[in-house]
Structure 1
Amino acid sequence: MEQNNMQDLLKRYLEGNCTPEERAQVELWYELLDSKKAAANEAELEEDLAEVRTRLAMPFRKKGKLFRYPAVAAAAAVLLIISIGSYFYFNNKPSGVPQKANKLLATDIAPGRNIAILQLGDGTEIALDDQSNGAIAKSGSNTIYKNAKGQLTYVATESKEDETDNPVSNSLRTPRGGQFQLTLPDGSQVWLNAASQLTYKISKTSRERLVELKGEAYFEVAKDANRPFKVLSKGQVVEVLGTHFNVSSYDDDPSVKTTLAEGAVRIVETGGHRNVVLEPGQQATLDSSNRLSVAQVDVSDAIAWKNGKLNFNQSDIYAVARQLSRWYNVDVVFKGRAANVRLSGEVYRNTNASKVLEILAFYNLNCKIETNNGVKRIVIE
């Protein structure tokens, strides 16, 4: 088929509007890509192809009909075809949208990395990317360690003279373009996303474990029936005993979303109007009017960032722009009226910004990276 028809075919495949013959054509591309994996010389290609094949085999129900391909697998197909320099687009040099995307490679924006600032109880701030691995500070009766994987760990000291009953407050904050992982003194693990802050108290005698979140974090809470774990975020409190869940609570997002992966949590709206208990696979949404709702979701979408991926699943363009701004530490500017489209796609977070913009280009969005006085920004029109 002609190269200039590929964009339209992939878009219809993504939306579930292909004929059986067209679906077969797209799946043939997978096989061709598989045969080209050695030439592509991309370490992650083989893993990605296996993931796509697995997802293609999963049933996906849409409008009462059973399709072999879920939308997220179709998005991954688009990503695979355009992100590894496949001969379909770049070696044959076709015209159209992918050629626009190719121009983005002249100037690019690096992805985020493991950077954060730790603030101790006395106000001391420690830039963690400047610190060598190993013990970096003491807080109360704990020694704080940093390792090469972007992880911070509190380890209780054995010396009785270091012990105190006075709670010590610490906070960990990531800038735009940063992420970090934290193990709290109770053993709970927290993954902190970009442009986020977690404030927590260190105490051996407190009857509860209370943390305050601004931004987004994924929690794996250590079980302790005698000391409930609570997460205070914008407009709500999440109460748990031991479980895995994600809270997205950015100030510039229109709602707070809490997604449960394992166990059970109670969401309490701080205005006192309503509370709900979530089961695994459910997501609670607290909107700007303090309305609390619950829906069944794909948990992997909500925690894709924690697993090293940028994920868009029928996301509006503004939600995508906010994700790009936080992770790539860059302003995203719209020229003209933003397109009323829903975007789906998935890309590894360790890729440059141009790879994400290639996906957006398939939705007829004109995306580019501009540099003005040494400062880069993403422009969408």
Structure 2
Amino acid sequence: MSVPEEQLLAALAEKFLAGTATDEEQQQLHQLYDQWTDEEETVVSKTEHAEELRAEILQALKDRINGQAKVVPFYKRKAWQLVAAASLIIVAGVLLFYYLQTDSHKKELASKETKVPANQSPVLPGKDRATLTLSNGTVIDLDSSGAGLLAQQGNTNIINKDGKIIYDPNKKGSGEIIYNTISTPRGGQYQLVLPDGSKVWLNATSSLKFPVAFTGNTRTVELTGEGYFEVAKNATKPFFVKVNDVEIKVLGTHFNIMAYNEEEAIKTTLLEGSVNVTTQSTKQSAILKPGEQVSVSQSSQLSQPIPVQTEEVVSWTNGKFYFNNADIKVIMRQIARWYDVEVEYRNISAETQLGGVVSRKEDIKQLLNYFEIAGKVHFTLEGRKIIVSNKN
């Protein structure tokens, strides 16, 4: 498809979303869309506003499909002029593809939607929930805790405020090291502000062990699962994150660590600043630059830093699933952790890949429908189990 045709396609799509396209323009849009192929993915521009724009486009398309009249004025943003026209179709292609089908084809697609028993109970997405284990073994359920002072550990007040836990040292510590642990279940996530002001976001099935006051020459925490960190700068007191055999050293930076036991490797991704990733057993190390990622295999082998799309890596902190030609089993592991479901595979191709940006607040049936329309897989929901199979 030529650039003028891409521009025309985007202009017609804008009118279509706004509900002002004539019958002739809708027919032209349909014809242009039929000419579009996956080759146009190469023209997407990577701007700092792209993710925000994509989310608005996705929501606008969903509103149109659901018959709502709401119009999102995303084309008024200056960023739109910097985004290639084809990005509209690439990012929201699944939904637009479905909406532009003939009625007969829509019925055919509907017949292939995720199968759900008539008595199926809703499978809800995850939410903010976690438990906090104090040094004496007391466990506080943060779901049911009210706002305000939760507890005091040493000279540090633990405060529940605005859906996150804040550790507030009210005076210099006595030197005694007291540890707390915050843990999220399947279908849970939580935010935490450490005693030094560093911020941590925990994904589902994760935990962070940390001292209630950083009294020594270093700041050290221990992570399982996945966490995103925004570390307060302190050049005289470096910050360390320990994950199994891996140690990440920082001074002040933004980074994500994914370290689930069921994944093939521990992945550290840097968004801002600098970090040094070291394996304790093999004594390998790598210094990351912003936009880079390293992996540590189960045998503690450290990869070379590679460039990655950081918005994809930290999409979970923004309430989204973001997959870019990801392996189906990688996708389903994320879905399983967030929706607290089991996954069973039946004759699924090992090379099956899917992509897209979808809200983590979606009903699981709708989420699976998006992927089913877009890819070569079929989903069946039975209670809290998802059966994944190839399409016939």
Place the TM-score, normalised by the shorter chain, in its bin. Answer: 0.7 to 0.9
Name the residue aligned to 1:313: 324
In structure 2, runs of 5+ residues without a counterpart are 21-59
Structure 1 vs Structure 2 CA RMSD: 3.1
The CA deviation at 1:307 is 1.0
SS of 1:132's equivalent in the other structure is: coil
Deviates more, 1:273-282 or 1:167-176: 273-282
Q: 1:125 to 1:283 in 2, by over 3 A?
A: same
Q: Give the aligned length.
A: 342
Q: 1:97 to 1:88 in 2, by over 3 A?
A: same
Q: 1:90 to 1:267 in 2, by over 3 A?
A: farther
SS of 2:333's equivalent in the other structure is: helix
Matched, 1:152 2:152: no
TM-score scaled by length of structure 1:
0.80
The CA deviation at 1:227 is 0.9
Name the residue aligned to 1:101: 113
Distance in 2, matches of 1:352 and 1:133, equals 29
* Structure 1 residues 305-329: Cα deviation after superposition (integer angstroms, max 9, x where no partner): 0111111112101100100001101
The answer on whether the counterparts of 1:79 and 1:347 sit within 8 Å (CA) in structure 2 is no
Correspondence 1:1-381 to 2 at 5 A: 27=10, 28-35=12-19, 40=66, 46=72, 57-58=82-83, 69=86, 74-81=89-96, 88=100, 94-101=106-113, 107=120, 108-148=122-162, 150-158=163-171, 163-289=173-299, 290-361=301-372, 362-371=374-383, 376-381=384-389
Q: 1:319 to 1:26 in 2, by over 3 A?
A: farther
The answer on whether the counterparts of 2:241 and 2:248 sit within 8 Å (CA) in structure 1 is yes
Name the residue aligned to 1:12: none
The CA deviation at 1:349 is 1.0
The answer on whether the counterparts of 2:169 and 2:213 sit within 8 Å (CA) in structure 1 is no
* Structure 1 residues 255-277: Cα deviation after superposition (integer angstroms, max 9, x where no partner): 11111110111111222432111
Distance in 2, matches of 1:236 and 1:51, equals 46
* Structure 1 residues 153-196: Cα deviation after superposition (integer angstroms, max 9, x where no partner): 011225x8xx4311011111100100000000000000000110
Distance in 2, matches of 1:307 and 1:87, equals 26
Q: 1:126 to 1:345 in 2, by over 3 A?
A: same
In structure 1, runs of 5+ residues without a counterpart are 1-17, 60-67
Q: 1:348 to 1:227 in 2, by over 3 A?
A: same
The CA deviation at 1:105 is 10
The CA deviation at 1:364 is 2.0
The answer on whether the counterparts of 1:217 and 1:247 sit within 8 Å (CA) in structure 2 is yes
SS of 1:251's equivalent in the other structure is: coil
The CA deviation at 1:291 is 3.2
The CA deviation at 1:30 is 5.0
* Structure 1 residues 72-116: Cα deviation after superposition (integer angstroms, max 9, x where no partner): x6552135437xxx8546988723334433765965421100000
* Amino acid across the alignment from 1:276: A
Distance in 2, matches of 1:51 and 1:316, equals 36
Distance in 2, matches of 1:251 and 1:357, equals 25
The answer on whether the counterparts of 1:89 and 1:98 sit within 8 Å (CA) in structure 2 is no
Q: 1:181 to 1:377 in 2, by over 3 A?
A: same
The answer on whether the counterparts of 2:232 and 2:252 sit within 8 Å (CA) in structure 1 is yes
Q: 1:79 to 1:44 in 2, by over 3 A?
A: farther
Q: 1:157 to 1:110 in 2, by over 3 A?
A: same
Q: 1:50 to 1:337 in 2, by over 3 A?
A: same
The CA deviation at 1:34 is 3.2
The CA deviation at 1:124 is 0.7
The CA deviation at 1:334 is 1.0
Q: 1:189 to 1:92 in 2, by over 3 A?
A: farther
Distance in 1, matches of 2:329 and 2:70, equals 29
Q: 1:240 to 1:311 in 2, by over 3 A?
A: same
SS of 1:46's equivalent in the other structure is: coil
SS of 1:81's equivalent in the other structure is: helix
